[in-house]
Amino acid sequence: MKLLRIGEPGAERPAILDGAGKARDLSGIVADIAGEALTPDGLSRIRAVDPADLPILDGRIGPCVGRIGKFLCIGLNYADHAAESGMVLPKEPIIFGKATSAVCGPNDTVLIPRGSEKCDWEVELGVVIGKGGVYIEKDAAFDHVAGYCVVNDVSERAFQAERSGQWIKGKSADTFGPIGPWLVTKDEVPDPQNLKLWLEIDGHRFQDGTTATMVFGVAHLVHYVSQFMSLQPGDVIATGTPPGVGLGRKPPVFLKGGETMRLGVDGLGEQTQTVGRA
């Protein structure tokens, strides 16, 4: 299933994509694509419905998950990206947070924050938790996954690395977390470690990678993160980015405003964002 949310910010309605690519209103079945609706029971309830019986929804595509509790990110999870960033390959996954206030729709305008000098892009595979848990065994990790989505982990590198403290400062500006266009349930993604992901700026392809080159795969990440905190339905884990970010160019290339970002992951849809300024 491909689940999405349609409507203006704060007023999105849950929807499912039908076979013709039309969004169908799920608001009579679930309150939102969030929380309980993402559990195995919630997804079964949605799966039992014939989309053709539901009204068509038109409008803005919002973030594919509502009321995200935790937006967690994994740093330097592709060896070639770590190398282009001049960073040592981690021995364990690097976990950092992205403020949930950064979340926006997949085609919303991304705003460069005030004082920014080094605004960058990162296409990533997002993992959406469906079944909560803590101390999850690696061989049970996929039992806790509801599905997957495209994430653009927009980053301000000076805020992230040159202003002291933790990376969250460079990751959390409003609009720095486009997710979607839809959440694709795990049954439609048989191997999350075999997905191509790419990103273009004004038609020029900067990132062109595959999840096969992740240092730590999805199952390990779900297991690992759960050793330090419980995971709940609707939590999102952004699993890292392949090489091709602006920071890694020689010389570095950063967003100035006015550009168009286009990105996608095989089978999970595409995003398109215009870059503006706050």
pLDDT tens across the length of the chain (278 residues): 999 999 999 999 999 999 999 999 999 999 999 999 999 999 999 999 999 999 999 999 999 999 999 999 999 999 877 777 776 788 999 999 999 999 999 999 999 999 999 999 999 999 999 999 999 999 999 999 999 999 999 999 999 989 988 899 999 999 999 999 999 999 999 999 999 999 999 999 999 999 999 999 999 999 999 999 999 999 999 999 999 999 999 999 999 999 999 999 999 999 999 999 99
Of all helices (H) and strands (E), which one includes residue 219?
helix 218-225
Q: What is the pLDDT of residue 38?
A: 98
Which tokens go with 220? 């390990």
Domains and CATH numbers, the chain: 2-53 (no CATH), 71-277 (3.90.850.10)
Q: Please tell me the distance from the alpha carbon of residue 263 to that of residue 244, in angstroms, as a whole number.
A: 12
C-alpha to C-alpha distances, 227 to 59, 140, 269, nearest whole angstrom: 40, 14, 31
Pairing assessment for the beta strands 196-201 and 204-210 based on DSSP bridges:
antiparallel
Dihedral, CA of residue 51, residue 55, residue 56 and residue 59, to nearest 10: -120
Q: Please tell me the distance from the alpha carbon of residue 185 to that of residue 163, in angstroms, as a whole number.
A: 39
Which tokens go with 135? 């101390």
Q: Please tell me the distance from the alpha carbon of residue 239 to that of residue 217, in angstroms, as a whole number.
A: 8
On whether the CB atoms of residues 83 and 68 are closer than 8 A, the answer is no
Q: What residues contact residue 277 under an 8 Å CB cut-off, 6+ apart?
A: 111, 112, 257
Q: What residues contact residue 33 under an 8 Å CB cut-off, 6+ apart?
A: 3, 4, 5, 14, 15, 26, 64, 65, 66, 183
* 3-state helix, strand and coil shares in percent for the chain, rounded to the nearest 5: 20, 30, 45
For residue 238, give the nearest of 202, 192, 205, 275 by alpha carbon: 192
Q: Please tell me the distance from the alpha carbon of residue 41 to that of residue 219, in angstroms, as a whole number.
A: 21
On whether the CB atoms of residues 179 and 236 are closer than 8 A, the answer is yes
Percent of the residues in the chain that have a pLDDT greater than 70, as a whole number: 100
Q: What is the pLDDT of residue 80?
A: 75
Q: What is the pLDDT of residue 5?
A: 98
- What is the chain's length? 278
